[in-house]
């Protein structure tokens, strides 16, 4: 039988035979050859059942009893099928190839088929159909991102040169709400800038970002454990989400964004074909208009638009955006100097770190506005980046206690400390700074030395010594120290004796009074 008949045709064949039709008439009626009818009739007659019993069988039973096969004797084909039955048992053995077994078949067969026919017959006999899986996408779970394969162009105003620009495409798979943006390249800076704008467009953050294996996102691709780019990891940490790159050479993993790219060609690329743009800002402004129209188009089946599905369903499942956008980070290494600062080479500046890290090796993470210093993956310092060069940026808490005190030295600092030790000490310190002139630093040392005398001699003696020293009109540390060393602070001053009502001449028997000179 050259033709294959299904069970319904077999029942029609049986019915016409019982109605008295000849094999030629049955073939003419059913549109099949007489030889095919003859072959089936021989099978019917060789069956243990008569024609009426065969007609009462269901279609499955009839198919099992009379499978389609050829009645033409073809030993060449039969020989090939027998070889396949033996060969197929070895299909799971490592190194199995059709080419190897074809050489064996060619040596053993009398009239072998060509290799092309050999492979085709094997695929027909042992079909392995591949199915596609329908994925159900949860709202707010994933965001698919990719760059379009085809580029748009902007024009250089001065030269008229066409500059190709990349097109970034992102899609939320549940609502299929799409974002498109043009950028100059696929570099990390442009890619992460597009990602920032994309999440701002959606107004939230998904649980995971599914990216292609482009260099800006994946440092090393792998089917099982890809290595994510360091900046992209920081981006995900900043937005509190995870990165899930697709498998290499598996476009089905991001089929929706591939489809979104194709639709972008139709809805965005094609309307822009006759327009001229001189900057990416102008281009993105027009893309934004076309994108809004595209997202508002109704689905044919769902009877709602991408934007409507996003607003009604998916938006509520997105996590909130952080207070600030992610800034691209760069990295440097630096050793903490003896002063407690790290040298930041891009700006030639110095930034303070806690003094206990002096001599340690650190990593500097910096953006356009901030500088962070890490030691063993722990952040030990955070500074706002200084725009001026050659400056020392200091946080007082980073300094040791002695350095903190030294940095806090000024006139008010010493006056405040002197006031706590007595009124005369305060007046004396004020006099020091009045005589100090325009450069007060030497007086810091004198005032500090003066106040430290209280530890050795006590505050009361220091206060009296300052009182005695002020009568000379000279304010110095050495003067007060000499008074304290010689214990002169409690002796009466010469002016005090003159101002008193008592004579300053001591009483004596040899001294004559005023009456002796009358």
Give 182-200 pLDDT, tens digit per residue. Answer: 998 888 888 888 999 999 9
3-class secondary structure, 396: helix
Rounded to whole angstroms, the Cα distance separating 147 from 141 reads 21
Q: Residue 224 has what pLDDT?
A: 63
Q: Are 479 and 466 in contact (CB under 8 A)?
A: no
In 358-488, DSSP assigns E strands to: 361-366, 370-375, 378-384, 392-393
Rounded to whole angstroms, the Cα distance separating 150 from 230 reads 27
Q: Residue 306 has what pLDDT?
A: 85
Domain ranges of the chain: 7-65, 75-125, 142-317, 330-400, 409-499
Q: Residue 2 has what pLDDT?
A: 43
Rounded to whole angstroms, the Cα distance separating 234 from 257 reads 24
Mean pLDDT value across the chain: 78
The three-state DSSP-derived secondary structure of 35-91 is HHHHHHHHHHHHCCCCHHHHHHCCHHHHHHHCCCCCCCCCHHHHHHHHHHHHHHCCC
DSSP letters, 125-154, are: HS--PPP---PPPPTTTEEEEEE-SS-EEE
Q: Looking at the predicted structure, is the pLDDT value of residue 221 above 70?
A: no
Rounded to whole angstroms, the Cα distance separating 55 from 62 reads 9
Residue ranges of alpha helices (H) inside 240-356 are: 255-264, 280-295, 306-309
Rounded to whole angstroms, the Cα distance separating 384 from 363 reads 16
Count Cβ neighbours within 10 Å for each residue of 351-376 and write b for 16 or more, e otherwise.
bbbbbebeeeebbbbbeeeebbbebe
User: 391 has which bridge partners?
Assistant: none
Give 454-463 pLDDT, tens digit per residue. Answer: 888 888 888 8
Q: In the sheet that 330-335 helps form, which strands lie side by side, from edge to edge?
A: 330-335, 361-366, 370-375, 378-384
Tokens standing for residue 190? 């442009």
Q: How many CB atoms lie within 10 A of CB 53?
A: 10
Rounded to whole angstroms, the Cα distance separating 79 from 73 reads 12
Rounded to whole angstroms, the Cα distance separating 236 from 219 reads 15
Q: Looking at the predicted structure, is the pLDDT value of residue 229 above 80?
A: no
Query: Which residue from 312, 278, 310, 275 is spatially nearest to 292, judged by alpha carbons?
Result: 310
pTM exceeds cut of 0.85: no
Tokens standing for residue 221? 């691709």
Give 307-346 pLDDT, tens digit per residue. Answer: 888 888 888 888 888 888 888 777 888 888 877 888 888 8
Q: Residue 439 has what pLDDT?
A: 53
Rounded to whole angstroms, the Cα distance separating 255 from 189 reads 26
Higher pLDDT, 37 or 165: 165
Q: Residue 136 has what pLDDT?
A: 62
Percentage of the chain with pLDDT > 70? 79
Give 123-163 pLDDT, tens digit per residue. Answer: 878 876 554 444 567 788 888 888 888 888 889 888 888 88
Query: Which residue from 334, 325, 376, 382 is spatially nearest to 358, judged by alpha carbons?
Result: 334
| Top-confidence range, 113-122, 294-303, 416-425, 431-440 | 113-122
Tokens standing for residue 436? 């100090």
3-class secondary structure, 274: coil
Query: Which residue from 267, 262, 287, 291 is spatially nearest to 277, judged by alpha carbons?
Result: 287
Q: Are 196 and 326 in contact (CB under 8 A)?
A: yes
Q: Are 143 and 208 in contact (CB under 8 A)?
A: yes
The predicted model gives 266-272 an average pLDDT of 82
Rounded to whole angstroms, the Cα distance separating 176 from 170 reads 9
**Domain 142-317, CATH:** 3.30.420.10
Task: Give the pLDDT band of residue 254 (cuts 50, 70, 90).
Answer: low
Rounded to whole angstroms, the Cα distance separating 208 from 144 reads 9
Rounded to whole angstroms, the Cα distance separating 288 from 181 reads 8
Q: Looking at the predicted structure, is the pLDDT value of residue 286 above 80?
A: yes
Query: Which residue from 327, 346, 322 is spatially nearest to 188, judged by alpha carbons?
Result: 327
Q: Residue 338 has what pLDDT?
A: 79
Q: Are 29 and 19 in contact (CB under 8 A)?
A: no
User: 305 has which bridge partners?
Assistant: 298
Q: Residue 67 has what pLDDT?
A: 63
Q: Are 98 and 84 in contact (CB under 8 A)?
A: no
Q: Residue 135 has what pLDDT?
A: 53
Tokens standing for residue 11? 């029942």
């Amino acid at each position: 039988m050259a033709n294959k008949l299904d069970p319904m045709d077999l029942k029609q064949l049986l019915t016409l035979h019982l109605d008295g039709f000849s094999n030629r008439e049955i073939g003419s009626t059913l549109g099949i050859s007489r030889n095919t009818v003859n072959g089936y009739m021989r099978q019917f007659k060789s069956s243990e059942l008569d024609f009426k019993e065969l007609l009462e069988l269901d279609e499955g039973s009839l198919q099992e009893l009379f499978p389609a096969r050829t009645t033409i004797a073809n030993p060449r084909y039969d020989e090939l099928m027998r070889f396949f039955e033996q060969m197929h048992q070895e299909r799971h053995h490592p190194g199995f190839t059709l080419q190897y077994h074809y050489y064996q078949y060619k040596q053993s067969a009398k009239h072998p088929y060509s290799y092309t026919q050999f492979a085709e017959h094997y695929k027909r006999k042992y079909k392995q159909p591949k199915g596609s899986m329908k994925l159900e996408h949860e709202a707010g779970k994933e965001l698919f991102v990719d760059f379009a394969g085809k580029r748009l162009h902007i024009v250089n105003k001065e030269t008229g040169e066409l500059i190709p620009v990349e097109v970034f495409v992102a899609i939320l798979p549940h609502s299929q709400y799409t974002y498109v943006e043009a950028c100059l390249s696929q570099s990390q800076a442009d890619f992460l800038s597009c990602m920032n704008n994309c999440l701002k467009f959606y107004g939230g953050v998904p649980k995971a970002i599914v990216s292609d294996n482009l260099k800006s996102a994946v440092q090393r691709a792998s089917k099982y454990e890809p290595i994510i780019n360091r900046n992209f990891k920081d981006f995900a940490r900043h937005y509190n989400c995870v990165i899930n790159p697709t498998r290499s050479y598996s476009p089905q993993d991001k089929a929706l964004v591939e489809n979104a790219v194709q639709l972008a060609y139709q809805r965005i690329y094609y309307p822009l074909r006759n327009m001229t743009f001189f900057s990416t800002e102008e281009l993105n402004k027009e893309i934004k208009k076309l994108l809004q129209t595209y997202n508002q188009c109704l689905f044919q089946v769902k009877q709602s638009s991408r934007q409507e599905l996003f607003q009604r369903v998916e938006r509520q499942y997105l996590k909130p955006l952080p207070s600030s956008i992610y800034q691209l980070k760069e990295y440097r290494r630096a050793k903490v100097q003896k002063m407690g600062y790290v040298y930041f080479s891009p700006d030639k500046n110095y930034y303070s770190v806690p003094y206990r890290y002096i001599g340690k090796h650190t990593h500097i993470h910096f953006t356009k506005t901030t500088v962070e210093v890490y030691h063993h993956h722990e952040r030990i310092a955070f500074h706002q980046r200084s725009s001026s060069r050659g400056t020392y940026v200091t946080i007082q808490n980073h300094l040791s206690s002695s350095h903190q005190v030294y940095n806090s030295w000024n006139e008010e600092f010493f006056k405040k400390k002197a006031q706590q030790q007595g009124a005369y000490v305060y007046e004396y310190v004020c006099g020091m700074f009045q005589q100090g002139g325009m450069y007060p630093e030497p007086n810091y040392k004198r005032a500090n030395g003066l106040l430290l005398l209280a530890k050795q001699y006590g505050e009361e003696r220091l206060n009296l010594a300052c009182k005695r020293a002020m009568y000379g009109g000279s304010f110095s540390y050495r003067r007060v120290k000499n008074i304290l060393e010689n214990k002169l602070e409690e002796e009466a001053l010469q002016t005090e004796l003159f101002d008193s009502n008592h004579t300053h001449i001591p009483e004596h028997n040899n001294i004559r009074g005023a009456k002796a000179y009358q």
